[in-house]
Structure 1
Amino acid sequence: MNLIAQETSIMIRAKAKDAKFIGSSIGGAKILVKDALTGEILSEGITKGSTGNTEKIMNQDWKRNQPISEENTAGFNAVIEIEEPVFVTIEAYAPFNKKQATVLSSTQIWVIPGKDITEDGVVLDVPGFVVDILSPQTHERIKATEEVEIKANIVMMCGCPVTKDGIWDANQYEVTAVITNDSGESTEIKLEQKEKPSTFSAKIKLEKGLYEVLVYSYDPVTGNTGVDKVNIIIN
């Protein structure tokens, strides 16, 4: 008997750890579906759609077999044509447009011809924070007589905002700047979220020299982490 190739659909979603789905608002997750044996790419694309229903995802108890996604929730529907069961590797690079924050999450499954995987589908968990240093700018020259304002934007991997007493509570996260001179000596300063959501800041005076400014965010409850770096000149 000759086998007939059948189109088979796999709904693939990337979900930020302790947050929502990674979709169009942050540029999506890059999805690759590969033959696990040969490495051949069988399908690829970007997750598109909304981050999902906040109430359902973050506040309600999930019951077995109850989808947490909805019709417009971000995902990528991979369609492959296969004649026999194929063992595949599914990779998500997310959030794809934030290169310093992009991480790889992957899994492997058997895909059976004609047996679609729908609704929530395959959900890949994406840990971390997106950390963007807003100030100082890369290679900025700052006078030693001036205070250096260190300001960073911190969001969940889906783009969800971080605010004091919010769903993603700034009080729970450690946001710290580590400032290292060209002799290897480091100073740490805590950044705080004040008026603007997701924006953490602090000020410090530095002596003349070359410095690396590293800002990290850490959640001791979930283990989520994120980092960004810039180099500056104090003259």
Structure 2
Amino acid sequence: MDAPRKRGTPLAAETDAHFSATLELDEPRYVEVTAFGPLQRREGATKTSMTQWVVPGRHLTGGDGWVVELAGFFVQGNLAASSVSRAEAGAGVTVEAEVVPMCGCPVKPGFYWDADEYEVAALVKRGDTPIGRFPLQYADTASDFAGTFSLTAPGLYDITVYAYDPESGNTGVDRLTLTVADE
């Protein structure tokens, strides 16, 4: 993937996801294609659409055909428990996140999808009051990140876990809720 390629050389492999259709057209049409996915992870799915002119008898099969890209990350946040005591929260709350590009590829340090290049963090607020932004670090397993922070006040906390790639702008988000009990 790092080697230069000649213009028009297909990027897609035979095993890549694809869709084929035959349109019976009697005149040029302006066509819109919409894609939604990944279907196996609907809670983190994204939607995109593209438009293009299509002319009868002129096929869009050269190179990669008509490419519709689903950009972003699937992010699945996780807490060990949805409710903890004030003492437990003060000792540290660990947020874990699985971060996967929409292609389903693994994220690892030094890999093509480089964990060291992504910003993964938890934005924490209690009610309307922001508590902080806490970075999550690569957790030594492909696509897994984790971070620990302390919470001192009882209440209901909203935790927004996000992954962001500053090079491409790809982003993904998940939301968690944590209750800190007043002993």
Structure 2: which 5+ runs fail to align?
none
- The whole-number CA distance in structure 2 between the counterparts of 1:149 and 1:141 is 12
Please list the CA deviations of residues 148-185 of structure 1 after superposition, one character each: whole Å capped at 9, or x if unmatched. Answer: 21000001111111111111111111111111112523
1:213 equivalent in alignment to 2:155: no
Amino acid in structure 2 at the alignment position of 1:159: G
Q: What is aligned with 1:94? A: 37
- The whole-number CA distance in structure 1 between the counterparts of 2:16 and 2:70 is 16
- The whole-number CA distance in structure 2 between the counterparts of 1:106 and 1:179 is 33
Q: Which moved more, 1:58-67 or 1:172-181?
A: 58-67
1:160 equivalent in alignment to 2:105: yes
**Residues matched between the structures, number:** 176
Correspondences of 1:38-53 after superposition (within 5 Å): none
Q: What is aligned with 2:86? A: 144
Please list the CA deviations of residues 28-61 of structure 1 after superposition, one character each: whole Å capped at 9, or x if unmatched. Answer: xxxxxxxxxxxxxxxxxxxxxxxxxxxxxx2221
RMSD (Å), alpha carbons: 1.8
Deviation at 1:127, TM superposition (A): 2.2
Deviation at 1:136, TM superposition (A): 4.7
- The whole-number CA distance in structure 1 between the counterparts of 2:56 and 2:147 is 56
Corresponding residue to 1:75 among 18, 29, 32: 18
**Superposition misfits of 4+ residues, deviation over 6 angstroms:** none
- The whole-number CA distance in structure 2 between the counterparts of 1:78 and 1:178 is 43
- The whole-number CA distance in structure 2 between the counterparts of 1:161 and 1:220 is 18
Q: What is aligned with 2:68? A: 124
Report the TM-score, using the length of structure 2 for normalisation. Answer: 0.87
- What fraction of aligned residue pairs are identical, expressed as a percent? 35
Corresponding residue to 2:46 among 103, 117, 141: 103
- The whole-number CA distance in structure 2 between the counterparts of 1:156 and 1:225 is 9
Q: What is aligned with 1:4? A: none
Question: Secondary structure of 1:122's match?
Answer: coil
1:222 equivalent in alignment to 2:163: no
Deviation at 1:71, TM superposition (A): 2.4
Deviation at 1:65, TM superposition (A): 1.7
Deviation at 1:106, TM superposition (A): 1.9
Amino acid in structure 2 at the alignment position of 1:217: A
The answer (yes or no) to whether the contact 1:144–1:205 under 8 Å persists in 2 is no
Question: Secondary structure of 1:166's match?
Answer: coil
Deviation at 1:131, TM superposition (A): 0.7
Structure 1: which 5+ runs fail to align?
1-57
Question: Secondary structure of 1:98's match?
Answer: helix
